[in-house]
Structure 1
Amino acid sequence: MNAIIVDDEEFARSSLYFLLQEHCGQVNILGIAKSVAEARTLLQQSAVDLIFLDIAMPGENGFDLIPAIKQAGAYVIFTTAYDQYALKAIKANALDYLLKPIDIDELTEAVGKAEKVIGANKGEQPQAGNLQNLAASLSDKAEPRKISLPNGQGYSLVSIDDIVHIEADSNYSVFYFTGREQITVSKVLKEYEEILPQDQFIRIHKSSIVNLNYIKEYNYRNGYEVLMKNGEKIAVSRRRASDLAEKLRIYTS
């Protein structure tokens, strides 16, 4: 994979370069840019598959590069020291991200993921909408309202308001929606518990996250359970029952 590194910090640029050289032989570094302007030039000069992109840079930030990324058909792995809110938005919409200081195992895992996605989607750019949604989420300082779900051939960009509930299936998560087929994702439920807005979604069982908008009834007749608007009944664990009751109280007040 032909790649470039974009970061305004010299140490960050050089350390990432040497980590890639040492541990990720499938990555060919075509160039290193210390600004968005330099990155645009590199994208115009060469065919780039993958960009390791810092976000917080003086002048133009990483999101200002999005139009050029879209035109180049490249994929992005963010390298960032952003706060927890931003990480939620990035995790929801990016191919992957690396939190500084970069961990070797996380780097090799992210590069392996990129290799699979780029190989499966050569010549396509399913990530462009994700990046635009991410930039909007961060600039508005609001919870991300869309989330990208890997589907085997790329990503499905879905509205979180359409998610009825999510069920764990071993190391997979199964998303159930209104008006579309379910999507199975090879990520554990915990990741989506962290990403989704906590005022709208709650984990009610080790195997279930539900959207409060779709709860029709909460009862104790057959143990703790919720009845969803689509007719499904979902069990609530005893240790999470009080959390759900409090969330519903706040939600309906």
Structure 2
Amino acid sequence: MRSKKYFLFLLFFDKLSPIKNYAVLNAIIVDDEEFARSSLYFLLQENCENVHVAGIAKSVSEARNLLSQHAIDLIFLDIAMPSENGFELIPQAQNANATVIFTTAYDQYALKAIKANALDYLLKPIDIDELKEAVHKAVKYIKLNKAENNRNESLKNLANDLNDKTSIKKITLPSGQGYRLVDIDDIIHIEADSNYSVFHLTNLEKIAVSKILKEYEEILPENRFVRIHKSSIVNLKFVKEYNSKNGLQVVLNNGETITVSRRRASDFFDKIKSYTNIQGEN
């Protein structure tokens, strides 16, 4: 049997609270693969007592019928399905005010888009503890019912990125008690601060995110963003100059100067040369 890799990813959530404190959530599972449907149903039944599976659908069409018949809080939604993909269900999910957890086989680009537009994901075979944690977070988010516009916008961004498959356009960043949708053209550079990544934006704002720099190195377009130091990623669009006065350094348009480590110098030169050539052709 051909093995597949899948991802579950939760669109928006907040800090954990005990799941037993909340009412039961009505959920539906939407997946064209029988094994995926039955295994997820079993895991939910055995481990997530606050989730009631109100229906199981093999297609988007069947899922629409379920949404019209039941008040649904949570949707476990496959993306790659015959006839219609999971994104075709998004308008109905939004109208129902349902939180969506996607399940999808992925390629490398899809994974980047997922990470850019979502805040959590689980790799199949699903780890029970991770599933329980994701449900906890979904319950908390549903209870708070915050950032509805951001959630919808993030869904649209993800759909657009996956359909385009050329470059990530926006990235979702947790910020305080909410979430920020940031255009990658507005990111000057990102610096590591312990286990945080600090985004420096064109409006002089700084956003600290509790994820390590490597995660964003993998997400952002490599022809535009280059890691020049273990603590720094720069957007080539904002490189004003580079020099070797005190070792190799990059000067950005905002006046900041960042050192390029010796082991990353060759990659930086290759990327800046390629980027400059592309800009010259445009």
Same fold (TM over 0.5): yes
Distance 1:191 1:222 in 2: 29
Shift in Å, 1:124? 3.2
Q: 2:53 is matched with which residue?
A: 29
Distance 1:82 1:14 in 2: 20
Shift in Å, 1:170? 1.7
Shift in Å, 1:125? 4.5
Higher relative contact order (CA 8 A, sep 6+): 2
Q: How many residues align?
A: 253
Shift in Å, 1:105? 4.4
Q: In the alignment, residue 59 of structure 1 is paired with which amino acid?
A: S
Distance 1:214 1:123 in 2: 31
Shift in Å, 1:156? 1.2
Query: Per the alignment, do residues 109 and 196 of structure 1 end up closer, same or farther by CA in structure 2, a change over 3 Å counting?
Result: farther
1:14 to 35, 38, 43: 38
Distance 1:83 1:125 in 2: 28
1:229 to 228, 243, 253: 253
Q: 2:84 is matched with which residue?
A: 60
Q: In the alignment, residue 186 of structure 1 is paired with which amino acid?
A: S
Question: Bigger shift: 103-112 or 130-139?
Answer: 103-112
Distance 1:119 1:169 in 2: 32
Q: Deviations over 1:119-176 (max 9, x none)?
A: 4335835311111121111122222211111223332111111111111122221111
Q: 2:198 is matched with which residue?
A: 174
Query: Equivalent residues in 2 for 1:3-152 (5 A)?
Result: 3-122=27-146, 124-152=148-176
Shift in Å, 1:215? 0.8
* Native 8 Å contact 2:147 2:179 kept in 1: no
Question: Bigger shift: 191-200 or 41-50?
Answer: 41-50
* Native 8 Å contact 2:116 2:168 kept in 1: yes
TM-score (norm 1): 0.91
TM-score (norm 2): 0.82
Q: In the alignment, residue 81 of structure 1 is paired with which amino acid?
A: A
Question: Bigger shift: 79-88 or 40-49?
Answer: 40-49
Q: Deviations over 1:45-101 (max 9, x none)?
A: 333332211111111110101111221222222111121111111111134333443
Q: In the alignment, residue 132 of structure 2 is paired with which amino acid?
A: T
Does residue 198 in structure 1 map to residue 198 in structure 2? no
RMSD: 2.0
Question: Bigger shift: 112-121 or 39-48?
Answer: 112-121
Shift in Å, 1:210? 0.8
1:153 to 177, 180, 196: 177
Q: Which runs of 5+ in 1 are unaligned?
A: none
Distance 1:131 1:195 in 2: 17
Distance 2:109 2:213 in 1: 19
Q: Deviations over 1:216-245 (max 9, x none)?
A: 111222233211100011222221111111
Distance 2:33 2:155 in 1: 23
* Native 8 Å contact 1:78 1:98 kept in 2: no
Q: In the alignment, residue 63 of structure 2 is paired with which amino acid?
A: A
SS in 1 for 2:266: helix
Query: Per the alignment, do residues 22 and 152 of structure 1 end up closer, same or farther by CA in structure 2, a change over 3 Å counting?
Result: farther
Distance 1:153 1:139 in 2: 30
Q: Which runs of 5+ in 2 are unaligned?
A: 1-24, 278-282
* Native 8 Å contact 1:79 1:100 kept in 2: no
Q: In the alignment, residue 26 of structure 2 is paired with which amino acid?
A: N
